[in-house]
Homo-oligomer: A and B are copies of this chain.
Amino acid sequence: MEKKNIVFIAKSLDGYIAGKNGELDWLESIPNPDNIEMGFTNLMQEIDAIVMGKTTFEVVCHFGGHWPYTKHVIVLSNSLKEVPEQLKQRVTIMKGSPQEIISALHKRGYFKLYIDGGRTVQEFLKADLIDELRITTIPILLGGGFPLFGDLDLRLEFEHIESKVFLNQLVQNWYRRKRK
């Protein structure tokens, strides 16, 4: 069974995933009147489960509307004790190191994982557990905020797979981890 950890995320031109005060409005600064699909639906079909941090989980819950994920969601948190009643079948809380989380999920039959959320992505990259980056760049400089990438102990080389431009403005780049 192929094992793969994928990041699929949007960032500003200067590398932020949220503004100085958590602003996300700029993610929709390029109008998408026809609701053009930018890879999320395919990703949902491709993966077995989603791993995210508590902050991202809370942001998604706060969006309201329908639950956006068709696969099981694992929320990483030391403090969260339970999830809202209506999400109990769809969401599991876990804690542990990235390696422990991955091992536990593989044992449960979840092999292809979508890793989401700033801190979670940074921790998984630090443990060199990300196999694919699919990053959409919004053409705006925020000038500050929560960065997608964090400090690493070692450089990580990737291989460029593909670039796509959506709505004539959003550049999505796919990269695969180059392992020797």
Contacts and interface: CB of A to CB of B under 8 A. Distances in A.
Interface of A: 13-15, 26, 29, 125, 133, 137, 139-144, 148-160, 163, 165, 168-171, 173, 175, 178
B158 A153 contact: no
Contacts of A148: 14
Interface-centre pick from A148, A158, A159, A160 (highest chain B CB count, 10 A): A160
Given A149-B141, A152-B141, A175-B13, A165 B158 contact: no
A14 B13 contact: no
A178 B173 CA distance: 23
21 contacts: A13-B133, A13-B158, A13-B175, A14-B15, A14-B148, A26-B155, A29-B157, A137-B173, A140-B156, A141-B149, A141-B155, A141-B156, A141-B158, A142-B155, A143-B150, A143-B154, A159-B169, A160-B170, A163-B163, A163-B165, A163-B171
A9 to B, nearest CB: 13
A77 to B, nearest CB: 25
B155 A139 contact: no
A171 B174 CA distance: 11
A143 B139 contact: no
Nearest to A143: B152
Contact of A141 (B125, B137, B170, B173): B125
Contacts of A155: 26, 140-143
Nearest to A150: B143
Contacts of A169: 159-160
